[in-house]
């Protein structure tokens, strides 16, 4: 394949990479986690879904997208009471991802989009995107893929909670990889909810994430028993075109020259 039709970053040769840079492709970085997802789903859910979304966008928009290999680990100490979960300290996660985005920017790619699949990574990928913009001449943005499917999910859902190993995620897995879902072990679970707070940050007021071992023995937040492959397909077919629209909007986004409004000289030697 040539650079115009190949959407997988690591499949290109270095001469082909020059062609991809010249074509102004948007580079997608999937980020997820390796963490418990209840007794019915595998630990790979977050990274599998984030990468799957990116690869499908690549297949449909190969002429303007390159998909990096995913970051498979994230901030997860709150799940550490469940066997198999891998936790990365937030400072290490940010530094690692920033090395990736800065490398991509170094080579000449101007637009980098982090596509996140793990809720606890959200504030971290936001910082990675911001730091990339401030430390390079490229633009970097971050999006949680699942945010693009909420409207479609709301039209078909039978349960009120969208959180973790729930109707949303389980439906997507049933659509994409049903052989990895053990529906006979699916059970509903909920967090502790107060007037202003919840133990899994589902409150509209306060962000607070407690150790899951304090409030659940299942590792589930939501009701996966209502999940179906049909719902998963509806969610999937809502997310992909919206993400392609986002890619196209981002690709066309201008990178203007900065305008310095200081009346006098600045201390340009200062580095943050």
Given this model, what pLDDT does residue 46 score? 98
pLDDT digits (tens, 9 = 90+) for 133-151: 999 999 999 999 999 999 9
Span 173-192, average pLDDT: 98
Q: Which DSSP letter does residue 251 get?
A: H
Beta carbons within 8 Å of 49's beta carbon, 6+ residues apart: 32, 117, 145, 146, 169, 172, 173, 176
Q: Does the structure show a pLDDT above 90 at 198? A: yes
Span 122-133, average pLDDT: 98
pLDDT digits (tens, 9 = 90+) for 57-113: 999 999 999 999 999 999 999 999 999 999 999 999 999 999 999 999 999 999 999
| Residue 192 and residue 215 in contact, taking contact as beta carbons nearer than 8 Å | yes
Span 158-171, average pLDDT: 97
CATH 3.40.50.10310 holds for 9-251: yes
Domain locations in the chain? 9-251
| Residue 168 and residue 129 in contact, taking contact as beta carbons nearer than 8 Å | no
Given this model, what pLDDT does residue 203 score? 92
| Residue 227 and residue 174 in contact, taking contact as beta carbons nearer than 8 Å | yes
The residue behind tokens 């709150």 is: 78
Span 32-58, average pLDDT: 98
| Total residue count of the chain as it appears in this document | 272
Predicted confidence band of residue 1 (pLDDT cuts 50, 70, 90): confident
Q: Following DSSP, what letter does each residue of 112-165 receive, concatenated?
A: EEEEE--GGGHHHHHHHHHHHHHHSSSEEEEEEGGGGGHHHHHHH-SSS--SBS
Span 155-171, average pLDDT: 97
Predicted confidence band of residue 163 (pLDDT cuts 50, 70, 90): very high
């Amino acid at each position: 394949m040539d650079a115009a039709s190949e959407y997988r970053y690591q499949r290109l040769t270095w001469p082909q990479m020059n062609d991809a840079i010249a074509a102004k492709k948007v580079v997608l970085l999937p980020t997820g986690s390796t963490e418990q997802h209840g007794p019915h789903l595998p630990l790979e859910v977050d990274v599998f879904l984030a990468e799957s979304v990116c690869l499908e966008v690549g297949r449909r928009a190969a002429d303007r997208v390159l998909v990096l290999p995913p970051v498979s680990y994230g901030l997860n100490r709150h799940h550490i009471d469940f066997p198999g979960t891998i936790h990365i300290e937030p400072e290490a996660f940010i530094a690692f991802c920033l090395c990736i985005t800065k490398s991509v920017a170094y080579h000449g790619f101007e637009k980098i989009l982090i596509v996140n699949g793990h809720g606890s990574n959200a504030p971290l990928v936001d910082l990675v995107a911001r730091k990339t913009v401030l430390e390079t001449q490229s633009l970097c943005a971050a999006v949680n893929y699942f945010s693009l499917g909420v409207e479609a999910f709301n039209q078909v859902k039978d349960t009120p909670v969208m959180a973790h190993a729930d109707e949303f995620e389980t439906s997507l897995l049933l659509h994409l990889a049903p052989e990895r879902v053990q529906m006979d072990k699916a059970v509903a679970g909920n967090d502790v909810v107060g007037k202003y707070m919840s133990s899994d940050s589902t409150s509209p007021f306060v962000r607070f994430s407690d150790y899951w071992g304090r409030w659940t023995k299942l590792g589930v937040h939501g009701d996966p028993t209502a999940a179906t492959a049909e719902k998963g397909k509806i969610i999937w077919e809502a997310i992909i075109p919206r993400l392609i629209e986002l890619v196209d909007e981002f690709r066309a986004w201008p990178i203007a020259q900065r305008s310095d409004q200081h009346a006098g000289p600045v201390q340009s030697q200062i580095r943050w």
